[in-house]
Amino acid sequence: MAENPVSGVTRLPVLNSAQFGLPPRDRAAYGLVLAPIIPKVFNGGWSIITRLTIPAVVTVPFASDAVPPSTGRTTGFGDIGWEALGHKMLRGKKQQLYDVGLGPFAGFPSASDDFLGTGRWRLGPEIALGITARHWVTVLIARNEWSVGDKSNRADVNQLTMSYLLFYNLPKLFYLVYEPIITVNWERQPGDRATLPVGIGVGRHIRVPRRPRLGMTARVSGFYNAVRPDTGAKWQVVATLVFFNPNPAVFDF
């Protein structure tokens, strides 16, 4: 259950990502993201799961090739995203647990710089489907978001985002993980819309001394973007640290 982001577990993921091979000149971008997940559990396997995605620190190179690499980047705060899923957990005949969730997504133009966000309010539906078995967990969270409100001078947003997670538990609290974020930007031309990362990661659950109610898991994943737009990165590395508490009402540090 600790791996499942839509289970009734309070958690605080901290993601540190790096992208390499961005055109032009194969430059790099970095991001530190906080994504607290807070469930409210009801009787009968029902819950409401809310998640904030907060790009706390983002640094990206400018798109213009005319800017020297030494000064051609900006660092700041990104666009915040908010999700709320009405979630139902079902138990299968062989003790598998099935997750079904549906709810809204909202994005806010909170970026500190035009290069770090869309500059648009965004809304869209989100769905989550998952299976938890004895040794593995798989979850798909998918949404499509559209820009709303005043267009100003910023581009329209129409994008599909799919977060797929596949965990396989190993002995001694280790696990393998495949956790790509697949995107399709419908505003781009056909053939230049999708990003499909391919790779694998390894992680381990960690017991926190003197904090029996608090757990941690840490993992590192590497990806090659087998399908990517012309402006997309070739490689990604993501290091994730997750604090979690089985109590859905309290996150006790």
Residue 143 to residue 104: CA distance in whole angstroms:
9
Residue 14, classed as helix, strand or coil, is strand
Q: Find the mean pLDDT for residues 55-81.
A: 75
Q: Find the mean pLDDT for residues 24-32.
A: 89
Q: Which domains occur in the chain, in start order?
A: 10-242 (2.40.160.40)
pLDDT of residue 211: 67
pLDDT of residue 70: 47
Tokens of 1: 């259950």
- Taking the CA atoms of residue 131, residue 251, residue 58 and residue 227 in that order, the dihedral angle to the nearest 10 degrees is 0
* Number of residues in the chain: 253
**Residue 65: pLDDT band with limits 50, 70, 90:** very low
pLDDT of residue 66: 46
Long-range own/partner contacts, residues 53-58 (CB < 8 A, 24 or more apart): 53/80, 53/81, 53/82, 53/83, 54/80, 55/31, 55/79, 55/80, 55/111, 55/116, 56/32, 57/30, 57/31, 57/32, 58/29, 58/30, 58/31, 58/32, 58/111, 58/116
Of 20-29, 59-68, 89-98, 109-118, the one with minimum mean pLDDT is: 59-68
Q: Find the mean pLDDT for residues 32-44.
A: 90
What are the tens digits of pLDDT across the range 225-249?
A: 999 999 899 999 999 999 988 665 4
pLDDT of residue 63: 59
Strand ranges inside 9-95, DSSP E = 10-22, 27-34, 37-41, 46-61, 73-76, 80-91
DSSP secondary structure code for residue 25 in this structure:
T
Q: Find the mean pLDDT for residues 85-113.
A: 90
**Residue 250: pLDDT band with limits 50, 70, 90:** very low
What are the tens digits of pLDDT across the range 134-162?
A: 889 999 999 999 999 876 688 899 999 99
> In this model, does residue 253 exceed pLDDT 50?
no
What are the tens digits of pLDDT across the range 149-207?
A: 876 688 899 999 999 999 999 999 999 999 999 999 999 999 899 999 999 999 999 87
Percentages of the chain per state (helix, strand, coil), in multiples of 5: 5, 60, 35
pLDDT of residue 196: 97
